[in-house]
Amino acid sequence: MPRLNTPEELECFRQKILSGRDPDKPCISICAGAGCIACGANEVIEAFALAIKDQGLSAKIDTRGTGCPGFCEQGPVVVIYPEKICYLGVTARDVPEIVSQTILKKKIIERLVFKDPATGAVAVHEPDISFYKAQERTLLCNNIKIDSRSIDDYLAVGGYMALAKALGSMTDVQVLEEVKKSNLRGRGGAGFPAGRKWEGSRNAKEAIKYVIVNADEGDPGAFMDRALLEGNPHSILEGLILGGYAIASHEGYFYVRQEYPLAVENIKLAIEQARDYGLLGKNILGSGFDFEVIVHKGAGAFVCGESTALMTSLEGRAGEPRPKYIRSNLRGLWNRPSVLNNVETWANVPHIINRGAEWFNGVGTDSSKGTKIFSLVGKIRNTGLVEVPMGMSLRDIIYEIGGGIPQGKKFKAVQTGGPSGGCIPEELLDLQVGFDELTKAGSMMGSGGMIVLDEDTCMVDVARYFINFLTDESCGKCVPCREGLRQMDKILTNIVEGRGKDGDLELLEELSETAVEASLCALGKSAPNPFLSTLRYFRDEYEAHIRDKRCPALSCKELIAFYIDPGKCRACGICLKKCPVTAIDGDKEKIHIIDQEKCTNCGTCFEVCPAKFTAVIKTSGAPVPAPIAQEKRMIIKKAPKKAQKKADQNE
């Protein structure tokens, strides 16, 4: 292990790594992110190792398990360099063929390449894939290029260059000024300007200060922090060290949720490697600057993403927010100045130092600079992580990158900002994404969750879902949040279960006001957002639930019913076989009937009924038609004339 004592030594070492690598040597990158592992990436990696060994190619081909490139939906993702051929949905069985055809004969395997679900166009190379084309991948681009467990890989793509530059040729104040000039705003929630937060801590008199990475990623439905933590941990670490330098702090913390074991592991490894190379510890790169980092695991509490709760938790206590009216950059962890930023915020810092504030300001809108990673999920064709410049319209993200809504369904709304965010309806799709723009529309940027909802999604249920989530996650310290949410959850549950009453909406609005105005922390203050924004844009759905006991999206289990259209049923018997509660009666040639008493509304029959019949009907708000009379249940086959006659006679 070389210990690098000066910025020059670091540069020399980087050159040495690069000169040992042949850019034309084929390299197979296999995504080993959580999503792809769930689809069998580990087996694919093993298969590649085996195939390469079998064919005696070990010296000629490199393989690499990398971080997540974001296209999890189509995983496991394999990219073959130098051509950047991208194969999707690869299984271990495809591997020998990939090695013998693509690697050795440069032949493309058609069935593994990307086909645009909307246009059917084929894209072989990674940059041509519509999902990637409109993206601007500053932070995510290295994920597929490096082995996240190798510091040398990170160095090879220019890693720790910013640190060398800062420590070698910039004063701490210059680093701070650069970040301030960049107008970088926090990526974790409120979008507070990072530079101003840093400056406050820097100017504080106390000698001991802290820098902290908020890697709690509590938003249920967002995973960009995870991709960075697992795929490129050094980029976050480098940002953190730079932050420490800028505010004269010598101790940093990672607060990582324990639900991400791979992230914890990779971060710990990255810290060890950086320490071995002399990029952490005493006298970093000979600059005289000392810096240490400690990893802390969260123990499963969403509220611990809130800054003061996170610090309380770091101190080893139950994560309740503090009631103080003083910012934590002045009085945070152990009552000392503490700068807390989100994973993605930190990961931006090395780029800003490398390329300058000017460059950063050149991307984005007036008030929101740079790129932002969104986790585009829900009812959308291309799900995954998308990194786009601020200011791109929601429509472009959803239709151009995301490929629109699958199965010919209609778009209804997009939920952004996580549990404290809101829903944005179709008429606002041309909205440019940015901190202030989203807030104005009644939602927020949050950490970048983007959940697309289609016509089958019930907006009242979406509101209930988030309120219920927050009820579970409220710390319980203050009344407006703990008690207010408890009641809101009850009322909303009543509404989706058909027990809504007149006056419920007014009661909800009153509870919302109290929570927004009087809660102790931002969890409670923003908790009513999902309700308020859905009420603002989808009031009619609330009214249908309350007044007509009808769910317009046909989604609320207690308000819907299934029946079989006797005119369409061909007695194929599939639904009968699959119904988990044997609520369906039928036989060969006999029209099937659902016993409404037994039916649990699980919807299995609706799903399995063959598309050519679509005999199972879902309804809401209207009584189910009476079942067809027993004597009319036999299906009369039209085809052979004789049989028809016979049947007629029988009748």
Ligand X SMILES: Cc1cc2nc3c(=O)[nH]c(=O)nc-3n(C[C@H](O)[C@H](O)[C@H](O)COP(=O)(O)O)c2cc1C
C-alpha distance from residue 614 to each of 408, 522, 559, 595 (Å): 16, 47, 21, 18
CB burial readout 528-542, b (16+ within 10 A) else e: bbbbbbbbebbeebb
| Rounded CA separation 472/487 (Å) | 13
Interacting partner of 21 out of ligand X, ligand FES, ligand SF4, none (Cβ under 5 to 8 A depending on kind): none
Q: Are 57 and 99 in contact (CB under 8 A)?
A: yes
User: Shortest Cβ distance from residue 272 to another protein (Å)?
Assistant: 16
Considering the complex, state which of residue 48 and residue 254 has its C-beta at the smaller distance from ligand X: 254
221 binds ligand FES (CB under 6 A): yes
| Rounded CA separation 270/576 (Å) | 55
List the x/- string, 217-236, binding to ligand X by CB under 6 A: xx------------------
| Rounded CA separation 224/219 (Å) | 10
Of 160-168, 372-380, 504-512, 521-529, the segment contacting ligand X by CB under 6 A is 521-529
The tokens describing 388, both together, are 């786009």
Q: Count residues binding ligand SF4 (CB under 6 A).
A: 14
State which of positions 468-497 bind ligand SF4 (CB under 6 A).
Answer: 474-478, 481-482
523 binds ligand SF4 (CB under 6 A): yes
Q: Count residues binding ligand X (CB under 6 A).
A: 23
Of 59-67, 87-95, 520-528, 545-553, the segment contacting ligand X by CB under 6 A is 520-528
Considering the complex, state which of residue 350 and residue 419 has its C-beta at the smaller distance from ligand SF4: 419
State which of positions 317-346 bind ligand SF4 (CB under 6 A).
Answer: 321
User: Shortest Cβ distance from residue 419 to ligand SF4 (Å)?
Assistant: 11
Question: Which of 189, 195, 244, 350 lies at the binding interface for ligand X (CB under 6 A)?
Answer: 189
User: Shortest Cβ distance from residue 397 to another protein (Å)?
Assistant: 15
Q: Do the bridges between strand 422-425 and strand 560-564 make them parallel or antiparallel, or are there none, so unpaired?
A: unpaired
| Rounded CA separation 188/264 (Å) | 19
Interacting partner of 610 out of another protein, ligand X, ligand FES, none (Cβ under 5 to 8 A depending on kind): none
502 Cβ contact list (under 8 Å, min separation 6): 546
CB burial readout 589-599, b (16+ within 10 A) else e: eebbbbeeeeb
| Rounded CA separation 373/36 (Å) | 19
Q: Where are the beta strands (DSSP E) in 417-484?
A: 422-425, 449-454
311 binds ligand SF4 (CB under 6 A): no
Calculate ∠ Cα 277-186-432, nearest 5°: 125
User: Residue 257's beta-bridge partner residues?
Assistant: 298
| Rounded CA separation 312/218 (Å) | 17
Residue nearest ligand SF4 by beta-carbon distance? 524
Considering the complex, state which of residue 128 and residue 483 has its C-beta at the smaller distance from ligand FES: 483
Residue with token string 């202030």:
436
535 binds ligand SF4 (CB under 6 A): no
State which of positions 283-342 bind ligand X (CB under 6 A).
Answer: 302-303, 305-307, 340-342
User: Shortest Cβ distance from residue 322 to ligand X (Å)?
Assistant: 12
User: Shortest Cβ distance from residue 466 to another protein (Å)?
Assistant: 8
Q: Give the residue from 104, 301, 297 showing the smallest Cα distance to 220.
A: 301
Interacting partner of 474 out of ligand SF4, ligand FES, ligand X, none (Cβ under 5 to 8 A depending on kind): ligand SF4
Specify whether the backbone of 25 is left (phi greater than 0), alpha (psi in -120 to 50) or beta: beta
Interacting partner of 462 out of another protein, ligand SF4, ligand FES, none (Cβ under 5 to 8 A depending on kind): another protein
User: Shortest Cβ distance from residue 313 to ligand SF4 (Å)?
Assistant: 13
List the x/- string, 181-220, binding to ligand FES by CB under 6 A: ---------------------------------------x
User: Shortest Cβ distance from residue 486 to ligand SF4 (Å)?
Assistant: 11
Considering the complex, state which of residue 148 and residue 471 has its C-beta at the smaller distance from ligand SF4: 471
State which of positions 198-237 bind ligand SF4 (CB under 6 A).
Answer: none
CB atoms within 10 A of CB 556: 22
Q: Are 542 and 536 in contact (CB under 8 A)?
A: no
Which residues form the interface with ligand X (CB under 6 A)? Answer: 186-190, 192, 214, 216-218, 302-303, 305-307, 340-342, 345, 447, 521-523
Which residues form the interface with ligand FES (CB under 6 A)? Answer: 220-221
